[in-house]
Each structure stands twice: as C-alpha cells, then as structure tokens.
Amino acid sequence: MRAPVSDDFDPTGPSELTPQNRPWPVQRHFPITYHDIDVLNHLNHAAYFPFMETLRCDYYLPLLGSNDPKVLDIIIAEATCRYVSPVSYGHDLIGEVAPALPLGRTSFSLLYRFRESTGSTVTARGRTVVVCFDYEKGAKKEIAPALRTTLTRDAILPATEGWV
C-alpha cells in the first residue's frame, strides 16, 4: 500500500464536515499551546505528527486489549500530513482517526482529520501506512482475522476526505 504523493490529493476536497464525513471511531481534543506555535502565530506543521501518534494509540491499543504502547505490533512505514487551514494559539482542535479501505494483506492506512472545536472547518488531514509487525521475528505479518474485521467495520473511503 502506498501513501499519497502530491498529485493524488485533492486540496479542494471537502473542507466542511458533511453527512458523508460521519464522526470517526476515535476523537480527541488537542489544546493548542504556546509550545506548538511558530513565528507566524500558527500551529507548527510538525505538531500534527505527535497528534496523529496519540490518535493512533487511542484507536489501536483498545483493539489489543491494552493501554500499554509496549504491546503495539505495528510499525509505521510512512506518514503524510496535508495542511488545509491555519490554527492559532489558544484554539482547540478535534482530531479523529479511522482506518481506510482497502486493507492490504500485511498493512493498512489510517486517516486523520483535524478541525477546530468551534466549527466544522477541517484544518489538516493525515495518513499513515501501518504495517503489522512481529518484533520477535523481525518481520511483517498478516493482519489477524479479528483485527481485519474491526478495521473493515470502522473504515472509511479515502476519497470522501480528498485522498485519491
């Protein structure tokens, strides 16, 4: 599975939440602190990646029946973030995460959507390519059947978020 490159993202895609853009399986609030602001008083682009890591753990760890990141059996092959609208100091973002269709044999994508909590305007979208990994063997492994069922149940179509 390949993450998007610059020509397979539609920046004119939906910037407002619509019925097709239903709430995703996991949501979390992220307050924008001074630490996350750049010299233009905007949320620094790099701040989105730790937000995506947190959302990934919020979604995936319960599927493993744990809150301990040490039990993670995945590795990130690629991470992408598209910035749609600036966010200022003191604002509050809502981040969401959902798996994307199609699922691969050993990998899947997670999509991330961020919006200001005071409205529905999307500020950024992200995608990670996640590989199921057996750390004892040092090799990728197939998505377990029960995990595949849950990922499929929770999945969204990437095109609904501007990913082609």
Q: What digits encode the pLDDT tens for the residues 127-137?
A: 999 999 999 99
| CA pair distance 25, 145, nearest whole angstrom | 19
* Neighbour count for residue 75 (Cβ, 10 Å): 13
Flag whether pLDDT at 20 surpasses 80: no
What is the torsion angle, in degrees rounded to the nearest 10, for the CA atoms of residue 56, residue 61, residue 64 and residue 65?
-150
Helix extents (H) in the chain: 48-64, 145-154
d(CA 162, CA 8): 9
Domain at 23-161: CATH code: 3.10.129.10
Could you tell me the pTM of the whole model? 0.86
